[in-house]
Amino acid sequence: MLEIRNLAKSFGGVKATNDVTFDFPDGSLTAVIGPNGAGKSTFFNLITGALKPDAGQVLLDGVDLAGRSPPEIVRHGIGRAFQVASIFRSLTVEETMLAAVSADQRTSAVLHKRFPLPETRDRAEHVMELLGLAGKRKRTAATLSHGDQKLLDIALALVLEPKVLLLDEPTAGMGPEERWRMIDKVRELWETQKITVVFIEHDMDIVFKIAPKIVVLCYGRILATGTPDEIRNNSAVIDAYLGTEHAGAAA
Amino acid sequence: APWVARAQAKTIKIGMPTILSGRVAQLGTSSRNAVMLEVEKVNAAGGLAGRQIEMVIRDSKGQPQEAARVARELVNTDGCELLIDAEASSGAFAVHEVARDLGVFCIHTNSETSALTADPKQHIPNAFRTARQGVHDSIVGGSYAAAIAKAKGLKKWATCSPDYAYGRDTTAEFTLYLKRFAPDVEIISESWPKLFQPDYTEVVTKILQAKPQALYSCLWGGDLTSYIDQANIYAMFGQMEVFAVNMADYTALTVVKNLPKGIHSGNRYIKTFPATPENAAWGDAYKAKYNEYPTNWSWENATAVMLMAEAAKKANAADGKKLAEALAGLTIKCPFGADGTVTMRAEDHTLVGYAIGWGTTIPQEPYVPEVKAGDWKTIFELEAEWKKSKGYT
Amino acid sequence: MSAAVIEVADLDVYYGTSQILFGVGLSVRQGETMALLGRNGAGKSTTMKAIMGLAPPRRGKVSLRGVVISGRKPHAIARAGLGFVPEDRQIFPEHTVEDNLVIGKKRGPDGQDEWPIKRIYEVFPLLEPLRHRIAGRLSGGEQQMLAIARTLMGNPALLLLDEPSEGLAPIIVQRIGELLRQLRSIGSTVLIAEQNMHFCLGLASHATVIDKGQIVYAAGIDDLKANDTIRRRYLAL
Amino acid sequence: MTELEARRAETLVPARGATTVWARYRDVLIALIAFAVLASLPLFTGSKALLDFVIRCSAYGLFATSLNLLVGYTGLTSFGHGMFFGLGAYSFGLIMQKLGVPIPIAFVATLAITGVVAAIIGAICVRLKEIYFAFVTLAFQMLIHSTILSWASFTGGDQGLRGGIPRPVFLGVDLSNHVHLYVASCALLILGLLAMRQIAQSPFGYTLRMIRDNAGRASFLGIDVWRAKLTVFVLAALFASMGGMVMALFVSGAYPEFAYWTISGEGIFINMLGGVSTFLGPMVGTVLLLLLNDTVTRFTEYHGIVLGIVILFFALGLRKGLLDFVAEWFAHRREAGEGR
Amino acid sequence: MDLDALVGCLSSSACLVTQTTSGLIIGMLLFLVAVGLTLIFGVLKVVNFSHGAFYMFGAYFAMTAYQLTGSFALAVLAGAAGTAVLGLIFERVFMSRVYGADVLMQLLVCYAFVLIFDDVVRIIWGPEFKSMGMPAAFQVMPLFIAGGVVPPYYLLLIGVALAAAIVLGIGLSRSRIGKVIRAAAHNPGMVSALGINTGLIYGGVFALGGMLAGLAGALAAPVRSLTPGMGFSVLIESFIVTVIGGMGSILGALIGALLLGLIRSFGSLGFPLFTEGLMYLFMVIVLVSKPTGLFGKEAA
Ligand SMILES: Nc1ncnc2c1ncn2[C@@H]1O[C@H](COP(=O)(O)OP(=O)(O)OP(=O)(O)O)[C@@H](O)[C@H]1O
Ligand SMILES: Nc1ncnc2c1ncn2[C@@H]1O[C@H](COP(=O)(O)OP(=O)(O)OP(=O)(O)O)[C@@H](O)[C@H]1O
Ligand SMILES: [Mg+2]
Ligand SMILES: [Mg+2]
């Protein structure tokens, strides 16, 4: 279980994360929404070590990870994908996956053997298969389409076999079709891999359709939590975030 | 046999690595000019033991590894049988190693570092030096300065010299002899600007703070003129006697716009010292040909060619080995000799007997009207002593 | 019917050796809001960049009110009267809001100045209290408004908007929609590229559909709403 | 890039897999052949100048290729890599002059010294980014250069290590013999290149590529970026130091110029000339630069202008190193061929 | 080391004044060169290795103009204007072709011009060093302030440099053109899409940077010897200055230059043999404690 306790971070005067406490049970799927600048990405950055929290705890199965470096946190089992696909432009899809597995198996500093090590193959293969990247294995990452780059980014997080997967706007910049394909994939992963998934999303159709639980952040604080129906009808959320178009629409 | 005669008639190539680009290109060029001036004379007179000289001159950019590379290439690829090494100090040591390795005859013409010939560890039979030697310079300078110090009561001295081997050694030796002849002299301030440092303001002010009665400097070339320009606006020259050993060189004298009167300097090359018709004629001939005055490096390189020509005459061969044998101990007539001759000393293969002296400047030609010649007898005595103190003998 | 403000004909655009646009042509008339629709990677942004001269076309012609502007440098094209709001907004993050606006200030192609800063603040009342804020610290929606406002400062005859709703909270999308309707009501001419159909269909008067670098459909917005084939085939709706 | 383009790019990437073992042996084989060819050169030509040229290529080639481990593979632009070239030359020269140990011992000791110094300097430098990394390495280089100049009693100051480097015969190898020195240099070059090739193709090599492309992302995969950078910094220093030792043997001395920033500059220049995205690019650059240098200085003392114009040709004309350009050109050709 | 001298100086007002002004002088000339460097880097992200050449050309242009006209004002003008034109040409004809290429490629183009410019000077003015000479107006006795010596020429020099610093600083932060320049530094594409000719800005910035270096060269010409390659040592020091101050920051360049000047003037008292090393050491210390220089911004 991932437990967040009193997490706080401010930039200058801005309290980007303000005393956030929340639990993500094992195997849960949670959406994080909130206005632009509410502190959603910051929240992820604090959990994954990209930023050091000013205060608070990030407990994974009881171990406090707050303030540790990204490599350490990754090794404890929290993987993440980025709002803007963050990949290795000059490596091929296959090389990217193999190198990531190598990193996870602590063989990334091996000097005397040739890349790739045989023991990295299966895992890399498995994840490429899972996300439908196998057919594009020889493509250089930079030449992939926008959507495939996002997929590759998620694949990078997944190939480390994390306990918790954090996805920052996995569908950002995608068309309606790709969007749904991507989110179906995320749900499938969640169902088959039995991992804890937390994702940030601005597309309410998606959020309301697939997330059993939603957290709304606003000005760094938790504004509301609940099921899609609860959130949809929460007047504070409507005022701060949803506006009138989505409010209660699908009820 | 006829084939011998033909071989004899073949031209002889002399390789010359020197610095033709970068900050000291001017000096390298003046070395080349002087060599070519003399080689033309030798060739007109029949060449080196009957063989016409062909100079192969290459740029080393002043980098030792390039100097070594060029020297090797001159011998190995271009077929040069003799080398004139017109490099500055570190390049000279690099070429020296090449000469040691290849056994080729080599005259160092520009390196004034005493150790190059004084240190027996460096000694090889096929290498010589026709440059002035630092320690000679310092002995003459020290004794000249001491005389003035005593006459004018200059007790507090400051030094300001470039921070590299030449600057440090020369300054150390100068003060050594200054104190020897004038024991109550005291060095109260030392400055060590970097070679080619663009700005000397902090050095100038530092010296002004120390309020010395006299200043010694072995800055040279552009560094010296910069220094003078910058010291001038602090009105430094009115406040102390200045001994700048490298001032009396045309490269500096003709360039500096507000040359202060009365700077003491050693001669580098100056047309009027030694005050002989031969020397004046040589300087004029050089000026006529190249439209500028010779430099300190010019006379040193010219002397090398003169010595080679005479040695070849004596050995009746242009072969490096025989040339080296003939050269050791050879005395020749030379416009740059203190008494009209210079000698290649046999024991350490370095030039002695060249004109050396000090005088004071005036802002227009002849710039240094009177030069007080140094005394070679004293030089020899003190040099021997110095060698012993260094463990060279 | 008024004359075309912008006329794009036969554009071929390459990135390096790969061709992205194949003979793209479209035209927008005075007062229209034209939606440029298409899937990811269809070439919407590239079309806009090509019009702006940021991705110079190898073939084809862009004319603004009959004057050929293709082949000019971006700044010359902007001066001819085009205003561009790129998909990622590209505000100047270290400048204040007002500095961003000042940098965008220029007279229109006929020397007119219809958008003094006062009017900007009237149309974007949310920006006025933020005028001295560092733009990089604004929220995404505020940045989007700033980007549009900055471009309006240049008095464009035609506004090119690339995905103004991307990555924004629903309430902000709604607000920007209102704003664009307002602009339309004062007679501005707009070319807008969008993925968000809800948003776009409620806004545009005309639509052009691009797919794999080619224009496949162009008509009035009601036509498109009625044409299921096109919508399903190219817009995945 | 379009799908079409991407599919083309696909065909450029050589198939990997079971071929990795073969790839390794292929590298060794190529190295052996290259060594055989180089080592037998003296049998066919009496030209000492050619051998000299190859020795200098070894020295600069080791240095430049090691710099490419930093610049090309890791994206660390060092302006001070030359300090390790100088350090190698000086340490080796001093050990031989002062201690008179057998050459292999001096060789290993020099590597050890370089490793320690590089680890200390690297630990400070690799935290910095881009231009600041470049300049702080430059600062360290200048510090080392200043130290060499100031510590004249030990290093000989600006006059360099004088009096030649002794070369006691070891196991029949006499490095004062020109041919022996030549063969030894070739052996060092080939071994060094082979080792660097192995580094580049190892899992660590791919870690470096990841860091170059996106260091931040690499750290979210569990890679300790700082450690990896430091490791490659030290490894590259070792090979640069080897180059310095070859140079010291060639000129039989060491000079402050070896530790001056210009050496680093030349290294970068060589890399740009030859190309940074191909392993042998720096080697090609080395040969190009040395050839250029040696021929141009023969004909004019205005080599600055000539060299400058040649550089402009590369920079403005090709916009990349020669080998990179050739590799790309071949790729296009192949692509065109397949298109037909 | 000679710490006594340093301590002795710090306790004497005469020495303090003299050494401080001498530090200011060194620093201010350095600033004029460095600020162009930092400006060009800030806007174009180009590490202009050929910047020293502009300093050199400034000095040579000034010397030639002085010899022809005898007017020092014209000489300075010639140095500044000549290098401005040179900078413009250099940017428009050559540098503009390598934007977007590898940073090292840009470095290479600059390096090529270091070589070419030095040889061009050698061909035009000859390999020997030259001296312009101090204009008669400034051949006067130095002033004495609180016991310290300050030559009037150097007061002029400090004044000019300070004026340049103020004009640049205010101009860039207040005026619209300044804002545009800073914006172009971040995002040239967007700036041009807003109707601003970035080519002109780039050329202008290079011309301005060249002009400032040329101005420094011209002002230094009366007191420094002129030689091909003279730009080099100045360049290295300016790099130290810009890196210490933070690449791209004008205030950083000013502070960095003054600090370096003071390090030199006081360092030469306390550490006469390690003044140079002191500068590098200082740079290392600054970068270790603040990895982007004193006023540098973290690259995004
Ligand atoms: N490194 C930083 N330095 C200063 N301020 C920051 C930094 N990162 C984020 N902020 C500020 O913190 C607040 C929260 O930012 P964050 O990126 O977490 O928002 P978000 O909820 O992810 O928004 P969006 O939906 O637009 O991505 C914003 O006001 C932002 O400007
Ligand atoms: N800089 C570039 N280099 C190479 N190819 C590019 C570049 N930018 C875009 N492309 C390619 O050009 C095609 C069209 O891209 P464009 O950005 O115009 O699409 P779009 O319709 O705007 O898509 P989106 O909705 O994702 O913004 C895509 O296949 C894309 O991969
Ligand atoms: Mg975010
Ligand atoms: Mg787009």
Assess if residue E114 is contained within a domain.
yes
Q: Which residue has the higher pLDDT, D16 or B93?
A: B93
**Residue A102, helix vs strand vs coil:** helix
Query: Rg (Cα) of chain C, in Å, rounded?
Result: 17
Return the pLDDT at C71.
86
In this prediction, residues A220-228 reach a mean pLDDT of: 87
Give the number of domains in chain E: 1
Return the pLDDT at D178.
84
Return the pLDDT at D168.
80
Assess if residue E294 is contained within a domain.
no
What's the pLDDT band for E298 if we cut at 50, 70, 90?
A: low
Ramachandran area for residue C217 (φ above 0: left; ψ -120 to 50: alpha; else beta)? beta
Task: Tell me the whole-structure pTM to 2 decimals.
Answer: 0.88
* Residue with CA nearest ligand 1 atom 6: A11
pLDDT (tens digit per residue) in B87-143: 988 889 889 989 998 999 999 999 988 888 888 888 999 999 999 998 999 999 999
Return the pLDDT at A184.
85
* Dist. CA C43 → ligand 2 center (Å): 6
pLDDT (tens digit per residue) in D49-87: 888 899 999 999 999 999 999 998 998 989 999 999 999
| Structural domain spans, chain D | 2-260
Distance separating alpha carbons of residues A20 and A32, to the nearest angstrom: 13
Q: For chain E, which chains pass the contact test of at least 3 CB pairs under 8 Å?
A: B, C, D
In DSSP notation, B36-99 reads HHHHHHHHHTT-BTTB-EEEEEEE-TT-HHHHHHHHHHHHHTT--SEEEEB--HHHHHHHHHHH
Burial E162-195 (b: 16+ CB within 10 A, else e): eebbeebeeebeeeeebbbbbbbbbbbbbbbbbb
Q: Which residue has the higher pLDDT, C1 or A9?
A: A9
| Residues in Cβ contact with E40 at an 8 Å cutoff, skipping those fewer than 6 apart | E46, E48, E51, E205, E206, E209
Q: Which residues of E touch D77 (CB under 8 A)?
A: 103-104
Q: Check pLDDT > 80 for residue A174.
A: no
Distance separating alpha carbons of residues C209 and C216, to the nearest angstrom: 6
The number of the ligand 2 atom at minimal distance from the alpha carbon of A145 is: 31
Residues around the ion ligand 3 (C-beta < 5 A): A 41
Return the pLDDT at C2.
59
Q: Check pLDDT > 90 for residue D120.
A: yes
Which range (A115-129, B3-17, B368-382) has the least confidence?
A: B3-17
- Both tokens assigned to E211: 């002009």
Return the pLDDT at C3.
74
Instruction: Give the number of whichever ligand sits closest to the CA of residue A37.
Output: 1
Say whether residue B204 is in contact with chain E using an 8 A CB cutoff. Answer: yes
Nearest CA to B23 out of B162, B217, B132 is that of B162
Q: Are the C-beta atoms of residues B250 and B364 closer than 8 Å to each other?
A: no
Residue range of the domain that includes E83? 3-125+149-289
Q: What is the mean pLDDT of chain B?
A: 89
Torsion of CA C59, C63, C69, C71, to 10 degrees: 0
Q: Check pLDDT > 90 for residue D296.
A: no
DSSP type of residue D289:
H
Q: Are the C-beta atoms of residues E105 and D272 closer than 8 Å to each other?
A: yes
Say whether residue C40 is in contact with chain D using an 8 A CB cutoff. Answer: no
Distance separating alpha carbons of residues B1 and B12, to the nearest angstrom: 20
Q: Which residues of E touch C154 (CB under 8 A)?
A: 194-195
Distance separating alpha carbons of residues B371 and B357, to the nearest angstrom: 6
Nearest CA to C43 out of C28, C25, C64, C69 is that of C25
pLDDT (tens digit per residue) in E14-43: 788 888 888 888 898 899 999 999 888 888
**Residue B13, helix vs strand vs coil:** strand
Distance separating alpha carbons of residues B332 and B312, to the nearest angstrom: 12
Rank A171-175, B51-55, D20-24 by mean pLDDT and report only the highest: B51-55
In this prediction, residues A124-129 reach a mean pLDDT of: 86
Assess if residue E298 is contained within a domain.
no
Nearest C-alpha of chain B: how many angstroms from E191? 40
C to E CB pairs, distance under 8 Å: 62
In this prediction, residues E156-182 reach a mean pLDDT of: 85
Q: Is C45 in the pocket of ligand 2 (CB under 6 A)?
A: yes
Task: Give the closest of D160, D252, D303 to B21, CB-based.
Answer: D303
Q: For chain A, which chains pass the contact test of at least 3 CB pairs under 8 Å?
A: C, D
Return the pLDDT at B9.
58
Q: Are the C-beta atoms of residues B27 and B40 closer than 8 Å to each other?
A: no
Q: Is A143 in the pocket of ligand 2 (CB under 6 A)?
A: no
A2-86+162-247 classified as CATH 3.40.50.300: yes
Q: Check pLDDT > 50 for residue B152.
A: yes
In this prediction, residues A59-81 reach a mean pLDDT of: 88
Q: Which CATH number is C118's domain given?
A: 3.40.50.300
Q: Which residues of C touch D1 (CB under 8 A)?
A: 15-16, 18
In this prediction, residues D263-276 reach a mean pLDDT of: 88
Q: Check pLDDT > 70 for residue C52.
A: yes
* Residue with CA nearest ligand 1 atom 4: A11
Distance separating alpha carbons of residues A155 and A107, to the nearest angstrom: 19
Return the pLDDT at D15.
43
Distance separating alpha carbons of residues C15 and B59, to the nearest angstrom: 47
Q: For chain B, which chains pass the contact test of at least 3 CB pairs under 8 Å?
A: D, E
The residue type at C191 = L
The number of the ligand 2 atom at minimal distance from the alpha carbon of A175 is: 25
Task: Give the closest of B21, B63, B165 to D158, CB-based.
Answer: B165
Ramachandran area for residue A58 (φ above 0: left; ψ -120 to 50: alpha; else beta)? beta
**Residue D163, helix vs strand vs coil:** coil
Please answer yes or no on whether D301 and B90 come within 8 Å at the CB atom.
no
Please answer yes or no on whether C103 and E176 come within 8 Å at the CB atom.
yes
Distance separating alpha carbons of residues D192 and D237, to the nearest angstrom: 12
Burial bucket for residue B364 (CB in 10 Å: 0-12, 13-18, 19+): exposed
Q: Are the C-beta atoms of residues A236 and A223 closer than 8 Å to each other?
A: yes
Distance separating alpha carbons of residues C163 and A235, to the nearest angstrom: 28
By most ligand atoms within 8 Å of CB, the mutation choice from C36, C44, C196 for ligand 2 is C44
Describe the strand order of the beta sheet including B156-160 as a list of residue ranges: B186-191, B156-160, B214-217, B241-244, B264-266, B357-360, B371-373
Separation of CA D36 from chain center: 21
Distance separating alpha carbons of residues A39 and A48, to the nearest angstrom: 14
Q: Which residue has the higher pLDDT, C124 or B4?
A: C124
Q: Are the C-beta atoms of residues E26 and E265 closer than 8 Å to each other?
A: yes
What's the pLDDT band for D240 if we cut at 50, 70, 90?
A: very high
Return the pLDDT at B58.
92
Return the pLDDT at D14.
43
Residue range of the domain that includes C105? 4-235
Distance separating alpha carbons of residues B288 and B243, to the nearest angstrom: 31
Return the pLDDT at C128.
86
pLDDT (tens digit per residue) in E175-223: 888 888 888 877 888 999 998 998 888 899 899 999 999 999 999 998 8
B to D CB pairs, distance under 8 Å: 91
- Both tokens assigned to E170: 């205010």
Task: Give the closest of A87, A112, A139 to D6, CB-based.
Answer: A139
What's the pLDDT band for D90 if we cut at 50, 70, 90?
A: very high
Residue E189 phi, psi dihedral angles, 5° rounding: -60, -50
Nearest CA to D323 out of D288, D291, D294 is that of D288
Please answer yes or no on whether A241 and C195 come within 8 Å at the CB atom.
no
Return the pLDDT at B5.
45
Assess if residue E300 is contained within a domain.
no
The residue type at E146 = A
B366 cis-preceded (ω within 30 degrees of 0): yes
Assess if residue E135 is contained within a domain.
no
Which range (B175-189, C187-201, D101-115) has the least confidence?
A: C187-201
Return the pLDDT at D21.
66
* Residue with CA nearest ligand 2 atom 12: C20
In this prediction, residues E251-264 reach a mean pLDDT of: 90
pLDDT (tens digit per residue) in D4-14: 344 434 444 44
In DSSP notation, B104-119 reads -EEEE-S---THHHHS
Q: Is A14 in the pocket of ligand 1 (CB under 6 A)?
A: yes
| Residues in Cβ contact with B167 at an 8 Å cutoff, skipping those fewer than 6 apart | B161, B192, B195, B218, B219
Q: Check pLDDT > 70 for residue B207.
A: yes
- Both tokens assigned to E26: 């060194």
| Residues in Cβ contact with E202 at an 8 Å cutoff, skipping those fewer than 6 apart | E43, E44, E91, E95, E96, E184, E188
Q: Check pLDDT > 60 for residue E299.
A: no
Q: Are the C-beta atoms of residues B216 and B159 closer than 8 Å to each other?
A: yes
Helices A176-193/A146-158 angle, 10° precision: 10
Describe the strand order of the beta sheet including B82-85 as a list of residue ranges: B53-59, B12-18, B82-85, B105-108, B127-129
Q: Is A51 in the pocket of ligand 1 (CB under 6 A)?
A: no
Return the pLDDT at A247.
55
Return the pLDDT at B327.
92
pLDDT (tens digit per residue) in C158-169: 899 998 888 788
Q: Is A41 in the pocket of ligand 1 (CB under 6 A)?
A: yes
Return the pLDDT at D278.
87
What's the pLDDT band for E1 if we cut at 50, 70, 90?
A: low
What's the pLDDT band for B298 if we cut at 50, 70, 90?
A: very high
